[in-house]
Structure 1
Amino acid sequence: MPIPSHLIEALERADASWRPVLAAGLQAMHAATPAYFETLTDFLPTEQRLFAAFAQPMDRVRYVLIGEGPYPRAESATGVCFMDGAVKGLWSEEEGGGLSKAVNKATSLRNFMKMLLVADGRLAPDDTGTLALARIAAQSRGVPGVVQSLGEIQQKFFDAGFLLLNATLVFRETVAPAKDAKAWMPFLQTVLAALNEQQPTLVLWGKIAEQLNKLEEAQALPQIAAEHPYNLSFITNSNMHALFKPMGLLRC
């Protein structure tokens, strides 16, 4: 069967430099699992955001960050790894509040924020609770030079050359992420092959993303691996501190 029209239309959200590569990736998926697209009718992200991460032009990619899969909520799943569409402000507006309620609901994002704060020396590794975060929020909320929204962090990622992907680009309530990730592997293989000459650093979060190491295209790239951010241990991961501290993602 041809690639379904709703997937072809979603390619319009990608930068023009990516569209031939992504189309080839879809064809590779179809060749590997011919019946897969027939089942792909009800999934997240919605609103043609499936390839939104590829708004980053190919020649600007310096890092490829690969997580697990989209958030399991329609508002949250944006097509960009880790960027929760339900999150606007980062800091709580409530007296004594730390991170905003929306950040706290997104466990991975909450732990990522804590990791950045530990890396910056603003949060002690053994004291990342509500009281410590309330102090930081009071020092950060509305302060010039301090990032206030998740959109600002996403732009910082973009400016640093990140391509923010997931091992599976879709979430379906009836299918385990690991199973969908297997179907999307030929697609990611095509993406990584297209980036081979510029040698971006591959940042792998979690066991599903680490399955990409089976691919020669992944093995050919420099890599940094970590547990998925929904694990508390991610907060004190020294490899993540070394990677993200120089980027100053919480400063604007």
Structure 2
Amino acid sequence: MPANTIPPTILDALDLADASWRPILLEGLAAVAAANPGYLPALAADNYLPTGQRLFAAFALPLPAVRYVLVGEGPYPRAESATGVCFMDGAVGDLWSEAGLSKPVNRATSLRNFMKMLLVADGQLSAGDTGGAAMAPVAANARGNGSIQTLAQLQQNLTRHGFLLLNAALVFRPHVPPVIEARAWLPFLQVVLASLAGTGAKLVLWGKIAEQLKKLPECAGLEQLCAEHPYNLSFITHAGMQQLFGPMRLLRAH
């Protein structure tokens, strides 16, 4: 499908992506259209998350800067939360409260468990005790010792380490199952992943939907790290994720 036949609102969303990605994203959209010609026109005529033309917001990170591709399931199912960037809940500002993690963080279950995993990896929290009583002194320490204070700072630290924060499904619609939405975007992701061949980028897959990408030939040359989705409590103690993220010290302010 030529670019001039892709719905204009979809094309306009490319403005939030870095210029280095534009030809690749156009090729990816053409692949989506070739596989399912009615998908993009139907999407453009529908209401979906993220709003605000943030469909490709994750691609603000320039292609040469990508060292990791973190893939989750799909956008948060709340307009204020879905940002177009995997796992970054737009409803979250402050990370900490006097009692532990802030209420918005605790509401975003996946983010809460990711934060606790980072704290365990950093030795600030015991893997066997991550409840409220254990979190209170950790939070008190974090609010005054040079730790990051906001989700925006966490996203900046992830970006600094070269994380492209994607979802297997770029959109959320309440009447479309996430697995169906992800299937429609699979040709797009194949083009994106093919563009990273030979770069040394690593693929970090969270959850069963994202894990399906392991089967793609485009992933054969990428090192792959898999974990259950962070909305599972067991993610907090995932040794592979602790080994990956621990040395990055993502909770430290820069």
Query: Structure 1 length as normaliser, TM-score?
Result: 0.97
Please name the residue that 1:18 is paired with: 21
The answer to whether the Cα contact below 8 Å between 2:198 and 2:221 also exists between their aligned partners in 1 is: no
How far apart in 1 are the matches of 2:208 and 2:221?
19
Aligned amino acid, residue 47 of structure 1: G
Please name the residue that 1:126 is paired with: 128
The Cα of 1:219 is off from its aligned counterpart by: 2.2
The Cα of 1:38 is off from its aligned counterpart by: 2.6
The Cα of 1:176 is off from its aligned counterpart by: 0.7
How far apart in 1 are the matches of 2:41 and 2:196?
29
The answer to whether the Cα contact below 8 Å between 2:6 and 2:41 also exists between their aligned partners in 1 is: no
Tell me if 1:48 matches 2:57: no
How far apart in 2 are the matches of 1:215 and 1:140?
41
Please name the residue that 2:82 is paired with: 77
Query: Residues 126-205 of structure 1: matches in 2 within 5 Å?
Result: 126-141=128-143, 143-205=144-206
Instruction: Please state whether the residue corresponding to 1:199 is helix, strand or coil.
Output: coil
How far apart in 2 are the matches of 1:217 and 1:194?
9
Please name the residue that 1:58 is paired with: 63
How far apart in 2 are the matches of 1:199 and 1:7?
30
The Cα of 1:37 is off from its aligned counterpart by: 1.3
How far apart in 1 are the matches of 2:80 and 2:151?
14
For structure 2, the residue ranges without an aligned partner over 5 or more in a row are none
Please name the residue that 2:231 is paired with: 230
How far apart in 1 are the matches of 2:219 and 2:9?
29
Query: Structure 2 length as normaliser, TM-score?
Result: 0.96
How far apart in 1 are the matches of 2:81 and 2:150?
15
How far apart in 2 are the matches of 1:69 and 1:133?
28
In the TM superposition, what whole-angstrom CA distance separates every residue of 1:30-59 from its partner, at most 9, and x where no partner exists? 000111113212100000111000000000
- CA RMSD, aligned part only? 0.9
Aligned partner (choices 93, 100, 103) of residue 102 of structure 2: 100
The Cα of 1:199 is off from its aligned counterpart by: 2.5
- Tell me whether 56-65 or 143-152 shows the greater mean CA deviation: 143-152
How far apart in 1 are the matches of 2:215 and 2:162?
25
- Tell me whether 60-69 or 31-40 shows the greater mean CA deviation: 31-40
How far apart in 2 are the matches of 1:144 and 1:230?
28
Please name the residue that 1:209 is paired with: 210
Task: Report how many residues are paired.
Answer: 248
Percent identity over paired residues? 64
How far apart in 2 are the matches of 1:16 and 1:37?
22
How far apart in 2 are the matches of 1:166 and 1:218?
16
Please name the residue that 1:3 is paired with: 6
- Tell me whether 30-39 or 76-85 shows the greater mean CA deviation: 30-39
How far apart in 2 are the matches of 1:167 and 1:219?
17
**Structure 1 outlier segments of 4+, above 3 Å:** none
Instruction: Please state whether the residue corresponding to 1:123 is helix, strand or coil.
Output: coil
For structure 1, the residue ranges without an aligned partner over 5 or more in a row are none
Aligned amino acid, residue 141 of structure 2: Q
